[in-house]
Amino acid sequence: MAPADAPTGSPAGGPADRAAELRALVTHHFERYHADNAPEIPDADYDLLVAELRSLEAEYPELAAPDSPSHWVGSPGRTTFDEVEHRVPMQSLDNVFDIDGLRAWSERVVRRLGDDAPDPAWACELKFDGLAVSLRYENGVLVQAATRGDGRVGEDVTANAATIADVPRSLGDGAPPVLEVRGEVYLGLAAFDALNALRTEAGQATFANPRNTAAGSLRQKNPEVTAARHLSFWVYQTGEVVDGPPLASHRETLAWLAGLGLPVNDQVERLDDFDEVVTFVAAAGATRHDLDYEIDGVVVKVDDLALQERLGSTARAPRWAVAYKLPPEERTTHLIDIEVSIGPGGQATPFARLEPVFVGGSTVTTATLHNADQAAAKDVRPGDLVVVRKAGDVIPEVVGPVLAERPVGLAAWTFPTECPACGGPLVRPEGEAATFCTDYQCPRQVRGRIQHFASRGAMDIEGFGEQRVDLFVTEGLVGDAADVFSLDYDRITAMEGFGETSVANLRAAVDTARTRPLGRLLFALRIPHVGSTVADLLAAAFGDLDGLRVAEMADIEAVAGVGPVIAASLRDWLGDERNGALLSRLRVAGVDPVAEAPQDPGAPAQTLAGLSIVVTGTLTGYSRDEARAAITAHGGKSPGAVSTKTSALVAGKGGGSKSARAEELGVPVLDEEGFERLLATGRLPG
């Protein structure tokens, strides 16, 4: 058995439990990805979670909830765009992952063309890592830009695409009456770094990678925001063309498009011999880091347009082109040491401390080794030269040692037996992959529990972030969640770095948290198996803490979406007298929540509950009344004046005096983009 507070990542119960768990996981990662622009797991892993949830819901229709995240196609509260039907469908490409796959594809092409056709010439070009966009020019003037969408219907992003410097508003002489071109919108690496530097300066979360940032930037409500992101564009194909010139090859097409003023990448080659294609692919892999933009492969196309036509397409992709996907970027660096971090549930995770290395678009200094088995299997040792890559191009990973470079006599690393934080024993429960520090009072666990308790999605206490939790625990101001509600504010005021305003804000945030609904509290307490979705289900079923405390196993199991595993875990947790004492102390501190009133299923998420948001100036996407209505619809208040109680000021153009007052009081000031993010996430900057 895992220790009482151990986190669980694997399904323990039946399909209902797994569905509930998946919903919570998908919701969490969806928010990290879309709302925070900070994905924690590779896209591929996220897709797997969604796919598993969908297949579970398909298999067990009784589990399919109308509000399941499996139905989401965009971020909640996100801007929507008009639909654009693509007259020529925007297809995708089939992928190959090695030279054998590429050769097999080329042989299929030759076979399909038959003996009477000449051997085709290959057009090789880079596969840009951005998002596909279609641009429609009528009589040489840009009239529409659309995303790929599902290939048949995309979104109209004309106003935003028109802000991209590489996208001509009008074409040069000789443009046909209708010319639709397709290409990739991307964010160059220098622009990406500059953007993140600005965000860091402004205290905003940085973006995770250029591709997601490009996609998010093109789907902004306000084109000025898109313009400020400095996106770029490469054209690589035509779509619908009316009365265009006679063209015989892809290469001629690109030359024609370049002549009209469209940006064509210069690394395009027409190659007759397949061995030359292999050389092109190898060169692209070797030089990908010399570029100021990211590529994830090479696209090989049959150059001759008549042969393309003969080859045709499948429902998904053309037969005349293929994407050779470059392997995730790998780099070597020295492994300085292997350390173990302790999570809030005591989970001990080994990670590599690395000499800084630039890989996959960012500098990496640490990489997880996941668990004892993985660390042992990789057998990397402090002092080794190791290969590092980004899994899914997001999370750094140590691939393995470069054995040829291993110094003689280098000692193998062994998993420590003592917790680096508290010195207590590290225990690996039978049958589990994870190892745990079992001391409930381990300072890392104490900090982790309090951090989670105060975090967004849990009790959401503004100003109670990681650093402050560390400080308050070190200073002995808090030891558990109940202490959060009896802080010694006089002592805090006397501490370095705190002024009266920040202490007043902290006090207000803590007071606000007292009124969070029961579901939030249950999630905040980190009861094993109780994620935010299950917490809400339990809250709705039992109404308040007393209802839950006296509930029998059978009552808990009877709650839809809660199976025997969760019920047993909850009963165990409630039965532990330390937890009983914690709940009693929370109650004494005024934390005795009830379940939220059931919501109208069509109502927006109550992201702004407890927040007071003032609106000033002129916004582009909302009238003042609409902005206020959006705030109240999301559960917030929108008074007319800025005061110490104001959570944030949304300032459009010309909102001078209120902005000055907000600044004076330390109230965060948001622009329209910040406002939309706030509506979607309920998260205040800072």
Phi, psi at residue 180, to the nearest 5°?
Answer: -105, 130
* CB of 145 vs ligand IVH, minimal distance in Å: 14
Work out the angle at residue 222's Cα, subtended by the Cα atoms of residues 220 and 226, and round it to the nearest 5 degrees: 60
* CB of 124 vs ligand IVH, minimal distance in Å: 9
* CB of 90 vs ligand IVH, minimal distance in Å: 7
Decide: 205 and 38 in contact? Cβ < 8 Å.
yes
Pattern 48-77, binding to ligand IVH, x per CB under 6 A? ------------------------------
Greatest pairwise CA separation for the chain in angstroms: 90
* Closer Cβ to ligand IVH, 93 or 175, answer by number: 93
Q: Which amino acid is at 581?
A: A
The single residue among 105, 128, 453, 542 that binds ligand IVH, judged by CB under 6 A, is 128
Question: What gap in Å lies between CA 646 and CA 651, rounded to an integer?
Answer: 13
Check residue 445 for interaction with ligand IVH (CB under 6 A): no
The single residue among 46, 105, 233, 236 that binds ligand IVH, judged by CB under 6 A, is 236
For 313, the token pair is 């397409």
Check residue 307 for interaction with ligand IVH (CB under 6 A): no
Check residue 31 for interaction with ligand IVH (CB under 6 A): no
Contacts for 265-271: CB closer than 8 Å, 24+ residues apart: 265/125, 265/126, 265/128, 265/234, 265/236, 267/125, 267/126, 268/123, 268/124, 268/125, 269/123, 269/124, 269/125, 270/121, 270/122, 270/123, 270/124, 270/303, 271/121, 271/122, 271/123, 271/124
The single residue among 55, 92, 599, 657 that binds ligand IVH, judged by CB under 6 A, is 92
Catalytic residue among 127, 221, 301, 658: 127
> Quick one: which segment of 121-129, 490-498, 553-561, 596-604 binds ligand IVH (CB under 6 A)?
121-129
Residues with Cβ within 8 Å of 95's Cβ and at least 6 positions away in sequence, in order, are 297, 322, 323, 324, 325
* Closer Cβ to ligand IVH, 277 or 321, answer by number: 321
* Closer Cβ to ligand IVH, 63 or 321, answer by number: 321
Check residue 627 for interaction with ligand IVH (CB under 6 A): no
* Closer Cβ to ligand IVH, 102 or 434, answer by number: 102
* Closer Cβ to ligand IVH, 93 or 311, answer by number: 93
Among residue numbers 637 through 666, which ones bind ligand IVH (CB under 6 A)? none
Question: What gap in Å lies between CA 676 and CA 205, rounded to an integer?
Answer: 15
In the beta sheet, which residues pair with residue 390?
A: 396
User: Which residue minimizes CB distance to ligand IVH?
Assistant: 132
Question: What gap in Å lies between CA 355 and CA 433, rounded to an integer?
Answer: 28
* Closer Cβ to ligand IVH, 125 or 155, answer by number: 125
Which 8-state DSSP code applies to residue 423? Answer: -
* Closer Cβ to ligand IVH, 131 or 595, answer by number: 131
For 433, the token pair is 């992959």
* CB of 83 vs ligand IVH, minimal distance in Å: 19
What burial class does residue 59 get, using C-beta atoms within 10 Å of its C-beta: 0-12 exposed, 13-18 middle, 19+ buried?
Answer: exposed
Question: What gap in Å lies between CA 238 and CA 69, rounded to an integer?
Answer: 36
Residue 645 bears catalytic tag: no
Check residue 303 for interaction with ligand IVH (CB under 6 A): no
> Quick one: which segment of 8-16, 87-95, 367-375, 504-512 binds ligand IVH (CB under 6 A)?
87-95
The single residue among 70, 91, 160, 512 that binds ligand IVH, judged by CB under 6 A, is 91
* Closer Cβ to ligand IVH, 147 or 347, answer by number: 147
The single residue among 17, 125, 294, 303 that binds ligand IVH, judged by CB under 6 A, is 125
* CB of 612 vs ligand IVH, minimal distance in Å: 44
DSSP string, 206-260: PPS-HHHHHHHHHT-SSHHHHHHT--EEEEEEEEEEESPPP--BHHHHHHHHHHT
* CB of 155 vs ligand IVH, minimal distance in Å: 15
Closest among 323, 135, 291 to 218, alpha carbons compared: 135
Q: Which amino acid is at 467?
A: Q
* Closer Cβ to ligand IVH, 95 or 279, answer by number: 95
Among residue numbers 390 through 419, which ones bind ligand IVH (CB under 6 A)? none
The secondary element (H helix, E strand) that includes residue 49 is: helix 43-59
Check residue 593 for interaction with ligand IVH (CB under 6 A): no
- CA-to-CA separations, 402 to 297, 336, 384, 405, 414, in angstroms, rounded: 25, 14, 7, 6, 19
Decide: 160 and 297 in contact? Cβ < 8 Å.
no
Strand (E) positions, 68-177?
A: 83-85, 95-96, 122-128, 131-138, 141-147, 153-155
The single residue among 24, 299, 551, 684 that binds ligand IVH, judged by CB under 6 A, is 299
* Closer Cβ to ligand IVH, 318 or 561, answer by number: 318
* CB of 324 vs ligand IVH, minimal distance in Å: 11
Question: What gap in Å lies between CA 391 and CA 42, rounded to an integer?
Answer: 7
Question: What gap in Å lies between CA 130 and CA 392, rounded to an integer?
Answer: 15
* Closer Cβ to ligand IVH, 321 or 354, answer by number: 321
> Quick one: which segment of 39-47, 120-128, 606-614, 618-626 binds ligand IVH (CB under 6 A)?
120-128
Q: Which amino acid is at 448?
A: G
- CA-to-CA separations, 583 to 126, 579, 587, 589, in angstroms, rounded: 59, 6, 6, 10
* CB of 318 vs ligand IVH, minimal distance in Å: 5
* CB of 144 vs ligand IVH, minimal distance in Å: 18
Among residue numbers 131 through 150, which ones bind ligand IVH (CB under 6 A)? 132
Handedness of CA 157, 265, 255, 237 (dihedral sign): negative
Pattern 249-288, binding to ligand IVH, x per CB under 6 A? ----------------------------------------
**With CB under 6 A, what is the number of residues at the site for ligand IVH?**
14
The single residue among 134, 237, 249, 371 that binds ligand IVH, judged by CB under 6 A, is 237
Closest among 399, 397, 371, 391 to 43, alpha carbons compared: 391
> Quick one: which segment of 26-34, 127-135, 168-176, 337-345 binds ligand IVH (CB under 6 A)?
127-135
- CA-to-CA separations, 45 to 18, 49, 76, 477, 529, in angstroms, rounded: 16, 6, 21, 39, 20
The single residue among 17, 31, 184, 439 that binds ligand IVH, judged by CB under 6 A, is 184
Alpha helical stretches, state H, 388-494: 443-454, 466-474, 489-494
* Closer Cβ to ligand IVH, 237 or 451, answer by number: 237
Q: b or e along 459-491 (b: 16 or more beta carbons within 10 Å of the residue's beta carbon)? A: bbbbbbeeebbebbbeeebbebbbbbbebeeee
* CB of 42 vs ligand IVH, minimal distance in Å: 17
* CB of 125 vs ligand IVH, minimal distance in Å: 4
List active site positions.
127
> Applying CB under 6 A, which residues contact ligand IVH?
91-93, 125, 127-128, 132, 184, 236-237, 299, 318, 321, 323
